[in-house]
Amino acid sequence: MKIKWIEIFKILEDFQTGYDLPSVSLIGNEEGSPFKILISTLISLRTRDEVTLEASRRLFESADTAEAMMKLSQEEIEALIYPCGFFRVKSGNILTISKEIVQNLGGQVPSSKEGLLALPGVGLKTANLVLSLGFAIPAICVDIHVHRIANRMGWVKTNKPDDSVPALEKILPREYWIPINELLVLFGQQICTPRSPKCSQCPLHEHCRRCGVEQSR
């Protein structure tokens, strides 16, 4: 089956209409700050979107730059981002990253994958999201939704999200590297759910191989 990328992304873009953007995308659109995108992405890990958005906004009301953030104590950051998942670990990473940016990186968030991955708590998903949303550098951010849908559609055959990145880079036109995360996260939350996906309602059913789907609605 030939992958009809133009048709697929047009369907995904139309589907997105009427829904709120993912929390990090909202913050990126509102602020456009690589630092805020980096920090909100860290907060978002294993945390619901609505919790991420509220926690990020509370934190940025107190400190919206690396310089301001490093003046907070870890306990203050913990209180501001609670109840996000692993808030104690994340608060420590946020403080360490802020100090690293100010003291060793000239006050700037790294604009390279290697530079971002060197920061504590930053994995490939976070690095690529910061590159794409913070710097408009084409990078494929693969989270559990993108990984699941890419495999179900039959685009890739991979075991974990980080493996899906190079697999998608080989086949996905570069113009779609940035929007794929935002579009598939929403689609994965609403239609292509982890269990019993809503295949009967799916606007992509003609393009999907339904790989691994045993039960659907």
**202 annotated as ligand-binding:** yes
CATH fold for the domain made of 32-135: Endonuclease III; domain 1 (1.10.340)
User: From CA 191, how far away is CA 102, in angstroms rounded?
Assistant: 42
To which residue do tokens 């047009």 refer? 10
Burial bucket for residue 67 (CB in 10 Å: 0-12, 13-18, 19+):
middle
b/e sequence 178-212, b meaning 16+ C-beta within 10 Å: bebbbbbbbbbeebbeeeebebeebebeebbeeee
**211 annotated as ligand-binding:** no
Tokens of 121: 């708590």
**141 annotated as ligand-binding:** no
Sign of the CA dihedral running 132, 31, 45, 186: negative
**199 annotated as ligand-binding:** yes
Residues of the chain with CATH 1.10.340.30: 32-135
Q: What was the pLDDT predicted at 32?
A: 78
Q: What was the pLDDT predicted at 124?
A: 98
Q: What was the pLDDT predicted at 30?
A: 82
Q: Over its length of 217 residues, how does the chain's per-residue pLDDT go in tens digits?
A: 799 999 999 999 999 998 988 899 989 888 779 999 999 999 999 999 999 999 999 999 999 999 999 999 999 999 999 999 999 999 999 999 999 999 999 999 999 999 999 999 999 999 999 999 999 999 999 999 999 999 999 999 999 999 999 999 999 999 999 999 999 999 999 999 999 999 999 999 999 999 999 888 8
Q: What are phi and psi for residue 160, nearest 5 degrees?
A: -150, 160
What residues contact residue 79 under an 8 Å CB cut-off, 6+ apart?
Answer: none
Specify the pTM. Answer: 0.93
Residues of the chain with CATH 1.10.1670.10: 5-20+140-207
Q: Does domain 5-20+140-207 have CATH number 1.10.1670.10?
A: yes
